[in-house]
């Protein structure tokens, strides 16, 4: 008996998704494929072309995107971008709208956004752990601050939610976790540089490191399906060092920003540097 594929069933929540970068695009795709009526906005409008071809509505401005939405999802690069987009979208939010900010901007930016909310609008800070491959598969780790119950169906489509507490706690935990990852990759990069200076084969060093407590960091340092630009990693480290004295991470930040040619590359590029120069 021949079977036919049914189109996704429409859901009742109308979603506006703002920010279609390497992470935002696959996240928005999952929501569209789930049947949500989806309006999208991105500063570079062409990034929405594939979504629009499959039924999403392209908005010309952030305000146009969120007008009439039940749920707003933002995935923006940094605090400056988040606050700039907020300037445009907040006046258009209607009472009853639920805003999910999945950007990595730190708790101070989340507090600034929350302080500007109109009456009747809620904000959940829900930054994510995982790269583009996990975003496409709906396997992100979502670190949520605030009440997620009104948007549980949306978040479930994107990954697994870890409740963190009050608003801002998701953003805070994200800084803890992502800086541990970045620091781990930096340590692996330094260990490989040392191995090269000692004349050891790179693959031998990687294999041995991967069999010890740095296995997770080695896995991320050698990942091929991820895209977390060095520039964004440096931004995340800067957010952390702005709130605490963290001399190791300050050194990591200096390493991340030392070579401008690497800023657009995935974090794993840190391990492809030449061996460290020998001390005289």
User: 106, 52, 51: which is closest to 76 by C-alpha?
Assistant: 106
Q: Quick one: DSSP state of residue 266?
A: B
Judge whether 143 and 174 are in contact, CB under 8 Å. yes
Coil, strand or helix at 140 = strand
Q: Quick one: DSSP state of residue 131?
A: -
Judge whether 48 and 40 are in contact, CB under 8 Å. yes
Per DSSP, which regions of the chain are E strands?
15-18, 38-41, 57-58, 71-74, 98-101, 122-125, 128-129, 140-145, 159-165
CA distances from 98 to 14, 161, 203, 262 (A): 11, 16, 49, 37
User: 148, 9, 174: which is closest to 73 by C-alpha?
Assistant: 148
Q: Quick one: DSSP state of residue 39?
A: E
> Considering 47, 134, 174, 227, which one is annotated as catalytic?
174
Judge whether 85 and 76 are in contact, CB under 8 Å. yes
Q: Please say if 174 is a catalytic residue.
A: yes
Catalytic residue positions? 174
């Amino acid at each position: 008996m021949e079977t036919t594929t049914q189109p996704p069933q429409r859901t009742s929540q109308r979603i506006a998704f703002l920010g279609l970068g390497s992470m935002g695009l696959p996240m928005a795709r999952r929501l569209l494929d789930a049947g949500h009526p989806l309006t999208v906005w991105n500063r570079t409008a062409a990034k929405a072309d594939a979504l629009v071809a499959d039924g999403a509505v392209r908005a010309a401005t952030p305000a146009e995107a969120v007008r009439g939405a039940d749920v707003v999802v933002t995935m923006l690069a940094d605090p400056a971008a988040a606050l700039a987009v907020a300037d445009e979208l907040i006046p258009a939010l209607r009472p009853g709208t639920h805003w999910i900010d999945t950007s990595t901007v730190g708790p101070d930016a989340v507090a600034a956004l929350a302080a500007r909310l109109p009456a009747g609008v809620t904000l959940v800070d829900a930054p994510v752990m995982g790269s583009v491959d996990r975003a496409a598969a709906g396997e992100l780790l979502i670190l949520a601050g605030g009440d997620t119950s009104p948007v549980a169906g949306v978040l479930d489509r994107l990954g697994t939610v870890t409740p963190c507490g009050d608003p801002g706690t998701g953003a805070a935990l994200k800084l803890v976790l992502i800086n541990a990852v970045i620091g781990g990759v930096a340590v692996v990069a330094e260990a490989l540089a040392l191995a090269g200076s000692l004349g050891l084969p790179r693959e031998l060093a990687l294999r041995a490191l991967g069999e010890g407590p740095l296995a997770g960091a080695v896995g991320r340092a050698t990942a091929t399906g991820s895209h977390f630009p060095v520039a964004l990693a440096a931004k995340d480290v800067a957010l952390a060092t702005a709130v605490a004295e963290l001399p190791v991470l300050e050194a990591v930040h200096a390493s991340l920003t030392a070579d401008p040619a690497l800023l657009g590359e995935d974090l794993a590029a840190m391990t492809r540097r030449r061996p460290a120069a020998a001390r005289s």
